[in-house]
Structure 1
Amino acid sequence: MEFIENFDPHYPIIVGGLLQTEDRFGFLNVRIRRHRWHKKILKTNDPLILSLGWRRFQTLPVFTTSDSRTRNRLLKYTPEHTYCFATFYGPLVAPNTTFCGVRVVSKQNTTGSFRIAATGVVEDLNADVEIVKKLKLVGYPYKVFRNTAFIKDMFSSALEVAKFEGASIKTVSGIRGEIKRALSKPEGHFRATFEDKLLMSDIVVLRTWYPVHPKKFYNPVTSLLVKDKENWVGMRLTGEVRAAKNVPTPKNNDSTYTKIERQTRRFNALKVPKAIQANLPFKSQLHTMKKQRKQTYLQKRAVILGGEEKKARALIQTIQTIKNDKDEKKKAKKSEKNKERLKKLAKLEEAKREKEKEKKKEYFAKEGRKRRLGASEASGNAFGNKRRA
């Protein structure tokens, strides 16, 4: 009914049909790249209008990348000048189908002169997409034994600890460990074993992967069903809705950046017992002086420069600096002269080599002629003797 009521003959309409396989919906895995002329980067779960096949629809893509372990890791934003993967809910199409995406289709809310936000190609249709994001859980030891420690503030219940039994953990100082068993009291605390003894100031970290599920959102662009066909508005960003309704952005105290003040750690000095010190060899013995209770002569006396002496020292210092500057200049000039001299010597050496080569050529040419003449005379004499005989 809206199509007939809001029909505008100035807009051309192409009528087509869809195959039976094209009526199905599901999750699509695509390879996508932000257009290099688009000014802003794209964010995960932000609404994007895609022109895919015969359809134009709004969806919420989740951008991912595959690491070396064939794991689909979540990306918060699209990378610069390179492709990434994306998963979204929409109509199923054949693989290798290309598409393009825009942020908005209305002429009022344009995000710059260039509207194409992204381009890509459909890779495969997969409903079982496993997308994960990195999650770091942090805990602190409150009781430390030899290689065992009790950790707090990492989990909130014994059930969570049971899920991660046997998981490998690591401290900031690099000591590896393993989660063993949850404690009965207090809730969420657990026992863990480590390679070495922990310090009370250590921080224990558990690296995990948290599954992310793409949202089933499909909003077709129904611009032909409204009167103002050029200003169709679909799902808006949270910031745009807040700006339109003058709602302030809520502030999370945990997300605000605060100045970190760390206390300087003071380590106790090494104390070796006297019994061990007595048995040490001479080279390894600790030579320590006793603390002096009285001030020495050097500590007592105060050397204060007088007026004339101060002037004399300042004058000597200036003279010394001038002398050092002159010496630097002399060294620089000398090095330049040495470079020129080395160049001349290299040229003379080259000329000398060339002359030696010419002399050798002349000598060997003369020797060759003499040998040829001697050989020809010997052969002539032999031929004459034969004829006489």
Structure 2
Amino acid sequence: MPYGTIRKQMIPLQAEFEDMDDETRVQYEGFRPGMYVRLEIPALPCEFVTNFDPHYPIILGGLGASEGNIGYLQMRLKKHRWYNRILKTRDPLILSLGWRRFQTMPLYHIEDHNGRHRLLKYTPEHMHCGASIWGPITPQGTGFLAVQSVAGTQANFRIAATGVVLDLDKSVTIVKKLKLTGYPYKIFKNTCFIQGMFNTVLEVAKFEGASIRTVSGLKGQIKKALRTPPGAFRATFEDRALMSDIVFLRSWYPVSVPQLYNPVTSLLMPVGQKDAWTGMRTVGQLKHDLGIKNKPNKDSLYKPVVRQKRHFNPLHIPKTLQKALPFKSKPKNQEAKGKTPLDLRRPAVIREPHERKVAALLTALGTVYNHKNKKAQAEQHMKHKDFLKQKEKEEVVKQKRLKEERKKIYRAMGQKEKKKLKSSLKGASKDN
């Protein structure tokens, strides 16, 4: 509405209320611009009055009836592009949300494609993420900004993050990845007994039917808990597992949002110290102030790899398979190296002169017999070869004779068929 129109409307109102006193006039048209107003605020901290500084501006605002409660807030947050660090989960952050400034510990998370809200250790660099906090109930769609600290004047001051309130309940369950490991202590074909992953039978019962895997890539499933030792269970795999395998279970563990709501009480501090409010410090600031250095994780340090020598059982080849092997691949019954051969371990026999002659004669006779036997076998082999050649020739002649006979038979059958065809043709011509 133009300013001139508003002024024209105000002229009759001013003329109407001109003769009334201010108290009566306020009841009709309210407080006019430029009037002094006195406010009475109950239950105000005494430090506010004691340390009041008239040079420090104070803004008064009002809250709805439901905005005085504290609860869980789901927010969408993004790290500011000019802030030079990423924000860490569980690090205290100061939010300016609605009429309030307070410090809280947000949990950052991101929604996966399957609807799971996965906990993030740090905020993404150039992307929005979810944040869950414990704070005052604020209407949905309310924007906010976050800073890391409000103490002192900083030359490189930057806003840490900005975002908006999405939801006001605890419907979002934030989970983080949990990896449990165990070791087999008994193996029966595809069944395996595993220990070290759980501590009680109740823990095993919660994970019955869960999928597990070994480092070598075998997939398996948790079946049932064992009585002893506590926490051990029976599992089945798609193939036989090894005693050197490490079995691990991937699961998701729900994370609770820290219930920290710390209002910024800088107005209650003495004059000249209103910008010295620090609140809760981050873990990094505490370590810096106390001179504590991060100790490296022992599992992350490089160290020489010491592997135990593996002892394999000797190869056992079944007798049925040994028969099919070639001679060079068959296992030889050789004595172990360094041992005395079996013939040298027998007692020595010293023969008499007569026994020597008899043994020499028997050896000579055996040699002659073997020679004759070999000669007879060779002659028999040659005769058999000649016999096979003769048999082959006879077979060729026999096949040739059978072929000629078959030709004669087929020729006679063909002539008979021709005669039958001619006679049938003649009978058909006579009928016509």
TM-score range, shorter chain: 0.5 to 0.7
The 5 Å alignment of 1:165-244 reads: 165-227=208-270, 228-244=273-289
The C-alpha deviation readout for 1:71-102, integer Å capped at 9, x for no partner, is 11110111111111000011111212111100
Opposite residue 9 of structure 1, the aligned amino acid is P
Question: How far has the Cα of 1:253 moved from its partner?
Answer: 6.0
Distance 1:249 1:278, change over 3 A: same
Query: Where does structure 2 lack aligned partners over 5 or more consecutive residues?
Result: 1-45, 333-432
SS in 2 for 1:241: helix
Question: How far has the Cα of 1:286 moved from its partner?
Answer: 8.3
Opposite residue 263 of structure 2, the aligned amino acid is P
The C-alpha deviation readout for 1:16-40, integer Å capped at 9, x for no partner, is 2111121122111111111121111
The C-alpha deviation readout for 1:123-158, integer Å capped at 9, x for no partner, is 111223311100000011111111111111111222
* Candidates 183, 188, 196, aligned match of 1:153: 196
- Larger radius of gyration between Structure 1 and Structure 2: 2
Q: Which residue of 2 aligns with 1:11?
A: 56
Distance 1:260 1:24, change over 3 A: farther
Distance 1:262 1:136, change over 3 A: farther
Question: How far has the Cα of 1:167 moved from its partner?
Answer: 1.4
Distance 2:277 2:183 in 1: 53
Opposite residue 103 of structure 2, the aligned amino acid is Q
Query: Where does structure 1 lack aligned partners over 5 or more consecutive residues?
Result: 291-389
Q: Which residue of 1 aligns with 2:47?
A: 2
SS in 2 for 1:44: coil
233-242 vs 135-144, greater mean Cα deviation = 233-242
Distance 2:83 2:296 in 1: 31
CA contact (8 A) 2:76 2:130 kept: yes
Distance 1:145 1:208, change over 3 A: same
Q: Which residue of 1 aligns with 2:66?
A: 21
189-198 vs 258-267, greater mean Cα deviation = 258-267
- Normalization by structure 1: what TM-score? 0.67
Opposite residue 70 of structure 2, the aligned amino acid is F
Question: How far has the Cα of 1:271 moved from its partner?
Answer: 7.3
Distance 1:250 1:41, change over 3 A: closer
Percent identical pairs in the alignment equals 55
The runs of at least 4 consecutive aligned structure 1 residues that moved more than 6 Å come to: 264-271, 285-288
Question: How far has the Cα of 1:240 moved from its partner?
Answer: 2.5
* Candidates 144, 148, 155, aligned match of 1:103: 148
Count of residue pairs brought into register by the alignment: 285
Question: How far has the Cα of 1:251 moved from its partner?
Answer: 4.7
Distance 1:183 1:194 in 2: 17
CA contact (8 A) 1:34 1:80 kept: yes
CA contact (8 A) 2:91 2:283 kept: no
Distance 1:266 1:183, change over 3 A: closer
The C-alpha deviation readout for 1:315-369, integer Å capped at 9, x for no partner, is xxxxxxxxxxxxxxxxxxxxxxxxxxxxxxxxxxxxxxxxxxxxxxxxxxxxxxx
Distance 2:189 2:79 in 1: 54
Distance 1:163 1:23, change over 3 A: same
CA contact (8 A) 1:37 1:114 kept: no
Q: Which residue of 2 aligns with 1:368?
A: none
Question: How far has the Cα of 1:197 moved from its partner?
Answer: 0.7
* Candidates 163, 186, 205, aligned match of 1:120: 163
The C-alpha deviation readout for 1:141-184, integer Å capped at 9, x for no partner, is 11111111111111122221122122111112221111122222
Distance 2:195 2:297 in 1: 22
Distance 1:98 1:211 in 2: 28
Alignment RMSD: 2.8
The 5 Å alignment of 1:46-57 reads: 46-57=91-102
153-162 vs 49-58, greater mean Cα deviation = 153-162
Question: How far has the Cα of 1:266 moved from its partner?
Answer: 6.7
Question: How far has the Cα of 1:190 moved from its partner?
Answer: 1.4
